[in-house]
Structure formats: C-alpha cells, structure tokens
Amino acid sequence: MMELQDALSALEAQIEPGRAEGMAAYHKQTRRVLGIPNPALNDLSKTWRQSLTVEQRVSLASELWKTDIFEARIVAAKVLTQARLRPDNDAWDLIASWTPDFDSWAIADHACMAGQKRLVADPSRLDAVESWTSSEHMWTRRAALVITLPWTKQNFPKPAELEARDRVLGWAASYVTDHTWFIQKAVAWWLRDLSKHDATRVQVFLEQHTDNMKPFAVKEASRFLPLSEK
C-alpha cells in the first residue's frame, strides 16, 4: 500500500523549477500547481497501476483528489484509467463522485477519460450519466458528453451501440440553446468525432439544430463532413 505522503513526495520529485507559474496561468488555476510535465505524470501513474491492487489504487486516487493539488488530481484520474479493471464498481463510484468538483477542462477531461473505460465496461452506467445532463453545474453537464465519446467511434456499431449513440445525441440536442462556451464546445466535439464514422447522423443533427448553435460550434462540428454534406 502506498501512503499519500509517499505519493506526494514522488510527485514533488518530478517538479520542473519555473514551470508552475506558466501552467497555473494556462490552466487558469487558483489551486496549487506543482509544475510537473504530463509525461512524468504518465510514468508515475503507470508504475502505480502496475504495483498496486485495484483497491489500493482507488484508495490512493481518492486521497490524491482530496489534496486539491492540480497534478495530484490529474494523476488520481490516470491511476484509474485502464480498460480492464476488476472489480471496478468502487472505481466508477469514485470517478462519478468527482464531477461536482470539476472546474477546469484538464482535470475534468482526465477524470472523464478514466470514466470512459468504466462506461464501456458497463454501458448500463449511462443511466447515471443521464442524470448529469440536468445538473445546475456546467462542468457536470459537459462531462456527460465528454465521458460518452467512445460511442462516437464505432464504424459498425451494434444495435445497442446505436441506441446509446442516439441517446447521447438527444442529450446534445438539449444543450444547443445553452451558449456557454464549454457546453457548445462539448457538443461540437461530440459531433466532430462522430462525423468521422457516422456523417449522416451529424448532418441530420445540424439540419435540425444549427440555428440554435453558436457559429464556432457549427464550424467545428462540420470540420470532417464531406463537402457535399456541409
């Protein structure tokens, strides 16, 4: 078992002097930023994934998240980012519990990447994610789209995957009148990724909802559509 202080010491050993200020400005952070490059976080999380049990990793991720240190929260998510994770109920519950704390794209996106693996492992968890779409917390609403990005990627989706795809498109449709930049960007991101594998659905969505979307979001969503469909 790795103690929290040992993990923090391992993180602090990777600090690059002079890096923290620039990172804090770029990510618009008011929390503590150590100044650690992402490759170093990847290496640490890989070591911990290989050396700790699932139960130990969940415990460590929980403690790291509670520190509210920028890199600690990111590496907490990375420790749980793995396709095959058994048992994974505690990991999923922990990741889902983090959503009210989301307040910046980097932390939110890393947590959602961990959550994507757990959703693919058990798509019934989409029922819980659907409840996020009505949250008053913008980052939680955004997370419902980011965490479901795997359903944009199948070239030959099975019926259940098509059903999930249409379900999330319904969520996206409910977002189009919300002109918050991060919400519009998330809708555009989902549509853009889907257009590489299912251009028809994206075209239908845009025909129905373009008038309610911000121009930048329409442009981003259309980026990979065939010219004849734009």
Q: For the segment 76-106, what is each residue's pLDDT rounded down to a tens digit? A: 999 999 999 999 999 999 999 999 999 999 9
Place of tokens 């307040």: 103
pLDDT band at 229 (very low <50, low <70, confident <90, very high): low
C-alpha–C-alpha distance, residues 228 and 95, integer Å: 41
pTM: 0.95
C-alpha–C-alpha distance, residues 31 and 15, integer Å: 16
C-alpha–C-alpha distance, residues 198 and 168, integer Å: 14
Within 10 angstroms of residue 69's Cβ, the number of other Cβ atoms is 21
Tokens at 225, concatenated: 């559509």
- Start-end of CATH 1.25.10.90 domains in the chain: 4-147
Residue 68, classed as helix, strand or coil, is coil
4-147 sits in which CATH class? mainly alpha
